[in-house]
Amino acid sequence: MASKGKILYLVAEDWYFCSHRLQLACAARDEGYEVVVATRVTAHGDEITKSGLKLIPINMCRSGLNPLSELPSLLHLIRIYRQERPDLVHHVALKPVIYGSLAAAVTAIPAKINALGGLGFAYSSESKKARLLRAMLRVVLRMLLNRSNSKVILQNNDDLETLVNASILKPDRAAVIRGAGVDLQEFSLSAEPDEPPVVMLASRMLWSKGVGEFVEAASLLNKRGVVARYILVGEADAVNPASIPREQLLKWQQEGVVEWWGRRDDMADVLRQAHIVCLPSYREGLPKVLLEAAASGRAIVASDAPGCREVVHHNENGLLIPVKKSVPLADAIEQLVSDPVLRRKMGARGREIVVEGLSLEQVVSETLALYREGIIGSNANRSSS
């Protein structure tokens, strides 16, 4: 079968590509595209190549946005783009969007997809560093995101409104595709395990994920005499400014406030051990763990923040609480711990919400439509030139 064209994915980390984009890339391969993946390879290179995708290792660290200090990385990307000559590039997350867009401009790549999983530290924090970064990003993104035959994929309407209102993004360059989707076969509806109830927060261990508020809520509930286990699942992320030190996580565990399970790759099995899933995050794109929790039939407590409210419908499949507030978080957890009937009702509704509009199949279909539009558009431009 003749190739429909070549697509190159640029993703900073191989583990992230495998968890969030591998199934999409395989669907593109199955549709007849030649697929290339450029990413930093740590432990998942074999998984990518065994899926029939060409892998190009790169040296891109997720932290840092100084083009001068990272000029070698940018020049390496330019060489890759020149050698591969893709018909379409799909950049995933902020740094690949910026560096990949620069490389695509230099090498005249015909079609560009820039996927922002969220607006990150610059928009979830009000620190001086975040405000300075926000000002810089406003200029850089305005220059890069509005080029011809390009689309920006955002995961929620709040981020779209933020970028449009700041005059960073033109509305006709945007497409909202809600998250990475969830595999409904892998994350299936399952009965709750035996009590005591397990209340779980699964994410990278960042202050901006509301981990501190979760620990405070757990401590408060212990003082109230609420019987439950409070579990943190995930690892510290040293390159993120909001990372929680490993020593702090171990201290919380030693104090008996929470259990810290560290990184887990078997999330379907992990979520089956939970009764309630929490994510009191300050801001998200659209968190995959909430999709997975809902698909697994688990009631959710999440902050009423961008991204979280795309998945959690208050009093339907979970409870939304104010951002950065540990007492309302504790109250919401206590309500669900004490009412198993409500928990199960919310869990069943969560499964329905995911099936109705947040499945992997839907996300793949919507993204492949953008690929076809981009490649057809670039071919039309070539023909008319």
**What DSSP letter does each residue of 150-188 carry, written as one string?**
EEEEESSHHHHHHHHHTTSS-GGGEEE--SS---TTTS-
How would you classify the pairing of strands 111-116 and 88-92?
parallel
Residue 385 has a pLDDT of 44
Select from 98, 114, 105 the least CA-distant residue to 63: 98
Which CATH architecture describes the domain 6-181+359-384? 3-Layer(aba) Sandwich (3.40)
Select from 236, 234, 242, 325 the least CA-distant residue to 280: 325
Select from 285, 268, 185, 37 the least CA-distant residue to 277: 268
Residue 384 has a pLDDT of 46
| Helix H or strand E encompassing 201 | strand 198-202
Angle at the Cα of 25 (from 105 to 124), degrees rounded to 5?
Answer: 65
What residues form DSSP beta bridges with 205?
A: 236
Q: pLDDT digit string (tens) for 223-265?
A: 999 999 999 999 988 878 889 999 999 999 999 999 999 999 9
Q: Is 260 helix (H, G, I), strand (E, B) or coil?
A: strand
Helix axes 94-107, 128-144, angle to 10 degrees: 30
Query: Alpha carbon of 365 to those of 10, 254, 344, 358: distances in Å?
Result: 20, 46, 31, 11
With a CB cutoff of 8 Å and minimum separation 6, the contacts of 132 are none
Query: Alpha carbon of 360 to those of 25, 55, 247, 278, 354: distances in Å?
Result: 12, 23, 37, 22, 9
Q: Under a CB-based contact definition with an 8 Å cutoff, are residues 215 and 255 in contact?
A: no
Q: Which residues in the chain show pLDDT less than 70?
A: 1-2, 62-69, 120-122, 124-125, 130, 376-385
Residue 92 has a pLDDT of 96
**What DSSP letter does each residue of 292-339 carry, written as one string?**
HHHHTT-EEEEESSTTHHHHPPBTTTEEEE-TT-HHHHHHHHHHHHT-
d(CA 296, CA 187): 5
Residue 2 has a pLDDT of 62
Query: What's this model's pTM, rounded to 2 decimal places?
Result: 0.90
**What DSSP letter does each residue of 59-92 carry, written as one string?**
---SS---TTTTHHHHHHHHHHHHHH--SEEEEE
d(CA 77, CA 71): 10
Q: Under a CB-based contact definition with an 8 Å cutoff, are residues 187 and 296 in contact?
A: yes
- The dihedral built from the CA positions of residue 39, 41, 44 and 50, taken in this order, carries a sign that is positive
Q: How many CB atoms lie within 10 A of CB 313?
A: 16
Q: Under a CB-based contact definition with an 8 Å cutoff, are residues 116 and 152 in contact?
A: yes
Q: What is the side-by-side order of every strand in the sheet holding 111-116?
A: 54-57, 34-40, 6-13, 88-92, 111-116, 150-154, 174-176
Residue 378 has a pLDDT of 65
- The secondary structure of 226-239, three-state, reads CCCEEEEECCECCC
CATH 3.40.50.2000 intervals, the chain = 6-181+359-384, 198-357
Phi-psi region of 324 (alpha: psi -120 to 50; beta: other; left: phi over 0): left
Report the topology of domain 198-357: Rossmann fold (3.40.50)
